[in-house]
Structure 1
């Protein structure tokens, strides 16, 4: 079986996540990367959108989680996005979600903090590496 990686890079959203009350009240910028390992063999041979990952739909699922739910931790945000993608797209065998929080309140200058979460489809087949 062949796998194709489809990526959404640096999707940006304004949302109200964080541990501090000030973060949850005023909100801030969050950046998301999604890397989805897919079995799209049929899509590649048939040139058919219905046989692959529609990345506009994937983007909208990411946007929905980031915008409509509130999290204390970006770890929890990354986990929820990964689960939503795995559950809604049968072609996705593995998803890696990175969530970045630019200029976090650490008491010093920091470009961003980032978490990365990987989720695998649980099947009898061997997971892609």
Structure 2
């Protein structure tokens, strides 16, 4: 069986101004982002060395930076840009999955949130 090393950042909460409707872009709302990635961090584990893996704090900062850089109409576009930016900034990442949840979705009805999930291999984006 092939080994898979994973890292994750769960339930990151950001306030941003995304959505199709003008009111969403003016008032903003909370979004919840989950991040998962595959990379080979065996050497980091063996050597107990942060330089041989990905710094979670730096990943968090980059996700927030990309997510807040502009007002996206679609969460799909935001997710794609986050994935692309992470691949550019973190060469050791091989596969990324981003889930974005929108708790205050403008739908008449009762639901916890609307969400999108996108995953890409490095070769599919760059």
Same fold by TM-score greater than 0.5: yes
RMSD (CA atoms): 1.4
Q: What is the rounded CA distance, in whole Å, between the counterparts of 1:44 and 1:2 in structure 2?
A: 14
* Secondary structure of the structure 2 residue equivalent to 1:91: coil
Confirm or deny that 1:114 pairs with 2:115: yes
CA–CA distance in structure 2, aligned partners of residues 55 and 107 of structure 1? 37
1:73 maps to what in 2? 74
Q: TM-score, normalised by structure 2?
A: 0.92
TM-score normalised by L of structure 1: 0.90
SS in 1 for 2:84: helix
Superposed displacement of residue 104, structure 1: 0.4
Deviates further, 78-87 or 12-21: 78-87
Tell me the distance in 2 between the aligned counterparts of 1:96 and 1:32. Answer: 10
Runs of 4+ in 1 over 2 A off after TM superposition: none
1:3 shift after superposition: 2.8
The reply on whether 1:47 has 2:72 as its aligned counterpart is no
Unaligned runs of 5+ in 1: 124-129
Q: Aligned partners of 1:22 and 1:121: how far apart in 2? A: 35
Deviations 1:17-37 (A, max 9, x none): 000000000000000000011
Q: Number of aligned residue pairs: give it.
A: 123
Q: How far apart, CA to CA, are the structure 2 residues paired with 1:102 and 1:114?
A: 8
2:94 alignment partner, SS class: strand
**Inter-partner Cα distance in structure 2 for 1:2 and 1:90:** 19
- In 2: Cα distance, 1:40 partner to 1:69 partner: 32
Q: In the alignment, what sits opposite 1:127?
A: none
5+ residue gaps in structure 2?
Answer: none
Question: 2:86 aligns to what?
Answer: 85
